Amino acid sequence: MARYTCLFTVEVPVNNLQHLLIEILESCNLDIIYDTGDYMMAREVPGHVSFSKLVTVEVLIDKSVAAEREIRLNFVIKNEELPLHLDNHCHQMYELVSRAVAENRHWQLIEAVAG
């Protein structure tokens, strides 16, 4: 099973966060399948890769950071594919999602840590 993680700290108004995350994930060809406000799960839209390569993205939203507008986002990007090559489909999706989060113009990126 391929699995990649990354942690982002962003500055954004809390009331805009859900909408922005949904927008980012959908722009990466992912459908939101679960959303509780503090946790979001999205799955890659079927049709472009085999079922075992379909990527699932989990986002844990931590609003308890010391600053009022800072939010910590913990991403887990995974699929059932064995990561036999460094440039596997899951890693490509990890790069796509990471870049989309880091380059979003609607918030300020404070910190990014790849896992």
**If pLDDT is split at 50, 70 and 90, which confidence band does 114 have?**
confident
Predicted pLDDT of residue 47: 86
Q: Measured between alpha carbons, how far is 71 from 50 in angstroms, rounded to an integer?
A: 34
Predicted pLDDT of residue 66: 59
Query: Domain-by-domain residue ranges, the chain?
Result: 2-114
For the full predicted model, state whether its pTM sits above 0.75: yes
Q: What is the mean pLDDT of residues 50-78?
A: 89
Find the distance separating the first CA and the last CA of the chain, reported in whole Å: 16
Pick from 26, 33, 81: nearest CA to 58 = 33
State the pairing for strand pair 70-79/30-35: unpaired
- Look up residue 87 and give its amino acid: D
- Look up residue 17 and give its amino acid: L
Phi-psi region of 41 (alpha: psi -120 to 50; beta: other; left: phi over 0): beta
Per-residue pLDDT at 25 exceeds 90: yes
- CATH no. of 2-114: 3.30.310.220
Q: Measured between alpha carbons, how far is 90 from 87 in angstroms, rounded to an integer?
A: 8
